[in-house]
Structure 1
């Protein structure tokens, strides 16, 4: 059994760690509330954007747009992965990286490039020499709109000029505090919005005309798609970090309880030993 001095030192160390994880849990909870509020106010906008495109698609018929064009031959694929910049969020990043690696295993290295948002994904794939088209670090799930627009325009331009033939997004969708899921979806070419039933279409008056408005909205739709993926990822990260720190705090509390029990047993054994030594000494004195 360890000495009382060592056990007391371990208790102090674990207690100190518990205080840190508790503080980090509270910070993550505050950031989660803020990120969740921002996400919940952005989702209706994204939903309405999709709804308007579907309405326009219905009233304007088929609209020719290069963003809809599917390439006959796929020579280059761009995979945009959104991870976090920091650790201490459980298996959040490792799950994303493992999923992405399984997707990459289906491609040959020259035929795919990575667009990386977040340091964890960048550090992992840079060490493994994967071709990286662009990276955005220190985002914390909150990239300024100007950078989101720049990132989206860069990606769309690469698609339109033929540098890449298809683009996919990999990110984590926030469901609730305890639940998230990894999403793998196509970004470009854009799947043509599903036409709505005539009874579901609102009676809009379009100026100048539906086709022109439709083509004008597509770039905004692309920006919204990237923005929502980043917001979903940022909220998921904070939720994962809060739960990880909550579990770490619980583990530290259990460890302190265990070490306290060990300390008490050690003290009891030490006191019992001293009593036995005193009793033995007293018995020895009686013999003289």
Structure 2
């Protein structure tokens, strides 16, 4: 049985760990409020932009803009993966990385090359061990970022697509659904696929009118559309990271309480055993003297 000093030392260590996990939970909660507000404000704009652009793409020919052109022979796939820079957020990063690697394995099995564009240290570290091409790796920026980060990623991806270095591009990120649920999500960015028409879905005819002409809008809106969707993915990932870390630290704090209770019980049992041994020694000595 462990000594009283060892058990007491372990109890002290667990209590200090609890202080750290509780503080990290509070920090994650504070950051989550800001990140959640940002994604809840931006998501309706991104979704409406997505619906409008895919409808716009369905009204024109693929030859109207290079970003609409689907390649007959897809040789190389680009995957943008967004994770956090830090860990201690449960399985959040692992789930996103697994989804990205699964997509990469599927494309590789089809005979296509795969290149990763990583945003976040965890994504970079995981992909660098796989041997896949890594033309972009941005780390240390997920804690505080703005649209400039999405613009940087979008410009490079668009440039590689237009120069035929990439034939298709996917975005994988952690979608913030709720405090308890963050879902790895895959979105095809390039080529932009036309959406199913509202008439085909509901039987209701709905016509959008664009000014100026559709072809004139594409050159301005398509590049921005890519960057908006990337920014939406980054915001979702940021909010999901803080929610996952808050839940992980809350679980860790409860585990510390359980460990403290178990160690306190062990401490009491150890102390009682020591007292019993001392009493037995005293009684044995007294009996020996009486004898």
With normalisation by structure 2, the TM-score equals 0.89
Relative to structure 1, the CA distance from residue 97 to residue 207 in structure 2 (aligned partners, 3 Å threshold; closer, same or farther) is closer
Correspondence for 1:129 among 122, 131, 141:
131
Does 2:166 match 1:168?
Answer: no
Q: Is the 8 Å Cα contact of residues 92 and 240 (structure 1) preserved in structure 2?
A: yes
Does 2:60 match 1:62?
Answer: yes
Tell me the distance in 2 between the aligned counterparts of 1:105 and 1:54: 28
With normalisation by structure 1, the TM-score equals 0.90
Within 5 Å, give how 1:240-251 maps onto structure 2.
Answer: 240-251=244-255
Q: Is the 8 Å Cα contact of residues 55 and 201 (structure 1) preserved in structure 2?
A: no
Q: 1:207 Cα deviation (Å)?
A: 4.0
Q: Secondary structure at the match of 1:191?
A: coil
Does 2:87 match 1:87?
Answer: yes
Q: Secondary structure at the match of 1:139?
A: coil
- 1:114 matched residue in structure 2: 116
Q: Is the 8 Å Cα contact of residues 141 and 231 (structure 1) preserved in structure 2?
A: no
Q: Is the 8 Å Cα contact of residues 117 and 136 (structure 2) preserved in structure 1?
A: yes
Q: Over the residues paired in the alignment, what is the CA RMSD in angstroms? A: 2.1
Q: How many residues align?
A: 283
Relative to structure 1, the CA distance from residue 73 to residue 51 in structure 2 (aligned partners, 3 Å threshold; closer, same or farther) is closer
Within 5 Å, give how 1:215-230 maps onto structure 2.
Answer: 215-230=219-234
Relative to structure 1, the CA distance from residue 110 to residue 55 in structure 2 (aligned partners, 3 Å threshold; closer, same or farther) is closer
- 2:32 matched residue in structure 1: 32
Q: Secondary structure at the match of 2:71?
A: coil
Q: Is the 8 Å Cα contact of residues 152 and 223 (structure 1) preserved in structure 2?
A: yes
- 1:268 matched residue in structure 2: 272
Q: Secondary structure at the match of 2:72?
A: coil
Q: Secondary structure at the match of 1:13?
A: helix
Deviations, residues 260-282 of structure 1 (Å, cap 9, x unaligned): 00000111111122222222222
Q: Secondary structure at the match of 2:189?
A: strand
Relative to structure 1, the CA distance from residue 75 to residue 176 in structure 2 (aligned partners, 3 Å threshold; closer, same or farther) is same
- 2:149 matched residue in structure 1: 147
Tell me the distance in 2 between the aligned counterparts of 1:188 and 1:207: 24
Q: 1:99 Cα deviation (Å)?
A: 2.5
Does 2:207 match 1:209?
Answer: no
Q: 1:50 Cα deviation (Å)?
A: 3.0
Larger displacement relative to structure 2 (267-276 or 45-54): 45-54
Q: 1:214 Cα deviation (Å)?
A: 4.3
Tell me the distance in 1 between the aligned counterparts of 2:112 and 2:149: 27
Q: Is the 8 Å Cα contact of residues 142 and 234 (structure 1) preserved in structure 2?
A: no
Q: Is the 8 Å Cα contact of residues 55 and 196 (structure 1) preserved in structure 2?
A: no
- 1:8 matched residue in structure 2: 8
Deviations, residues 125-175 of structure 1 (Å, cap 9, x unaligned): 223332111111112254332231121021112111211111111111111
Tell me the distance in 1 between the aligned counterparts of 2:103 and 2:57: 32
For structure 1, which runs of at least 5 residues remain unmatched after alignment?
none
Q: 1:199 Cα deviation (Å)?
A: 5.2
Deviations, residues 22-54 of structure 1 (Å, cap 9, x unaligned): 111111111111111111010121123234436
